Amino acid sequence: MITPAINRRSGAGIRPAGAVGAALILATLVWLPCLHLLFRPHLARFYAERGIPPQAQALAAQQIMLCTNTAARAGEIAVLRRSNAEWDFMSRTYMILALANMGLRQPERKAAYLPVMDRLIEETLRLEQERGKYYFLMDYATNGAFRARPARSLFVDGEIAVMLAARRLLAEQPAYKPLLDQRVAALVAQMRQSPVLCGESYPDECWMFCNVLALDALRMAEALDGTDHTDLLRDWLAVAQRKLMDPETGLLLATFTFDGRPLQGPEGSSIWMVAHGLQIVDPFFAVTQYRRARQELGRRIFGFGFAWEWPASWRGQADVDSGPVVPVLGISAGSSGLAFVGARAFNDRDYLSALLTTLNYGGFPVIRRGQLRYCASNQVGDAVLLYSMVLGPLWREVERRGIRPL
């Protein structure tokens, strides 16, 4: 009998715990770099130069249902408003922007999209009128006094102006022209009062995101009605580049006071959309901001893309805009969601593919009856994703109709 002797000899070299440990380490080293391959998307299913890609169609079907089905809409808005009243408002803006782009991509479907846009706009205007100017703002809006007069939120005026203008760019609606004129006049008046040419979103709190959207509204009004805001736009760009930049990163600040004192540095949940919004204001400045944001905030690990909320040089706290931040990796839901807009707007396909891989893995998509939604997201998040999948034609339409050179 030789077997027992051989077994004793062979077992002496490797302890079981050591063998398992080594096997686990080796398996981890093999699996982690491979995992992303299972979730890697076919970009063509999400993004296309023409028409509407299949995933965008499925996402749009869900979003349109939420806009038109009264009961489902009430439930979804309640969910959003429980966390943040702004999200209720912003989901409308992104949905209207998405629908305008979809209508321009598919002119034969315009007739289906326009009533949804009108419904959203009319409901938003009605709610603002009935519930007051704070309805779409967070509670702390009532804690202080706006510095500019009359006291208005540029967040609300700017995004309503964008909604009205996007609708009119898809198809003229004469009833919306005076409404747009009023909002544009309010935006200009607010911005002109500030030493840094920025309107307040909240009392003595100016947000770059809102101010750039306000500039977009001015550009859209130029394209629609031939108005001239070049002086304000030129002055704004000069002031922003001089006073509203973070010196460490060269990125625009996220929030600052009415006088331009920084409150928060560059923020991922702001800068991606800011860079995209700047495309119709100053394309060169826009691309510079995107590249810097990509360098400071865009991250990729084992094939998964994500974005930080704050650059390494600025330590900020997670807030309602950033969403929960995943410890260690620093993944911010807000910044990563809006990074889709930036990556798509600047055709950064590698980063887009990595972001989509993360979305497929950690977004928890669910498709039912041809309608797609992401369980880890919410209605505003899904509206942002939809917008990222269809953006492009609206900005091109603004440029085609003619905006004045700065």
Partner 1 sequence: MNLPATPLRSRPLARGLLLRAALLVAFYGLCQAAGLREYTGFLSGTHPGTLAPLPSALLGLIYLVAYLGATLLAPILLLAAGFLGLGRLARHYLRITKIYPAG
Q: Does 26 bind partner 1 (CB under 8 A)?
A: yes
Q: Considering only CA atoms, which of 199, 218, 97 is closest in space to residue 155?
A: 199
Element (H, E) at 60: helix 54-68
Q: How many CB atoms lie within 10 A of CB 189?
A: 15
The single residue among 10, 70, 143, 317 that binds partner 1, judged by CB under 8 A, is 10
The single residue among 158, 199, 260, 381 that binds partner 1, judged by CB under 8 A, is 381
Side chain identity, residue 406: L
Q: 326 has which bridge partners?
A: 331
3-state helix, strand, coil in the chain (%, to 5): 65, 10, 30
Q: Does 3 bind partner 1 (CB under 8 A)?
A: yes
Give, in order, the Cα–Cα distances in Å from 250 to each of 77, 260, 274, 295, 321.
37, 16, 14, 11, 21
Element (H, E) at 332: strand 331-332
Beta carbon of residue 328, minimum distance to partner 1 (angstroms, whole number): 14
Residues 143-202 within binding reach of partner 1 (CB under 8 A): none
C-alpha angle with apex 245: 244 to 248, nearest 5 degrees? 150
Q: Does 329 bind partner 1 (CB under 8 A)?
A: no
CB nearer to partner 1: pick between 58 and 252? 58
Q: Is the backbone of residue 267 left (phi > 0), alpha (psi -120 to 50) or beta? A: beta
The single residue among 68, 83, 129, 313 that binds partner 1, judged by CB under 8 A, is 83
Beta carbon of residue 87, minimum distance to partner 1 (angstroms, whole number): 8
Contact 88, 141 (CB under 8 A): no
Beta carbon of residue 237, minimum distance to partner 1 (angstroms, whole number): 33
The single residue among 303, 323, 392, 393 that binds partner 1, judged by CB under 8 A, is 323
The single residue among 37, 49, 82, 139 that binds partner 1, judged by CB under 8 A, is 82
Contact 197, 239 (CB under 8 A): yes
Stretch that binds partner 1, among 110-118, 201-209, 318-326, 347-355 (CB under 8 A): 318-326
The single residue among 226, 242, 295, 364 that binds partner 1, judged by CB under 8 A, is 364
Q: How many residues belong to the site for partner 1 (CB under 8 A)? A: 41
Beta carbon of residue 370, minimum distance to partner 1 (angstroms, whole number): 19
* Distance separating alpha carbons of residues 271 and 177, to the nearest angstrom: 30
Which residue intervals of 69-207 are DSSP H helices? 70-83, 85-105, 110-131, 154-170, 176-193
Q: Does 27 bind partner 1 (CB under 8 A)?
A: yes
Stretch that binds partner 1, among 23-31, 47-55, 59-67, 174-182 (CB under 8 A): 23-31
CB nearer to partner 1: pick between 226 and 324? 324
Query: Where does this chain bind partner 1 (CB under 8 A)?
Result: 1-3, 6-7, 10-11, 14, 16, 19-20, 22-24, 26-28, 30-31, 35, 79-80, 82-84, 87, 320, 323-324, 333-334, 337, 361-362, 364, 366, 375-378, 381
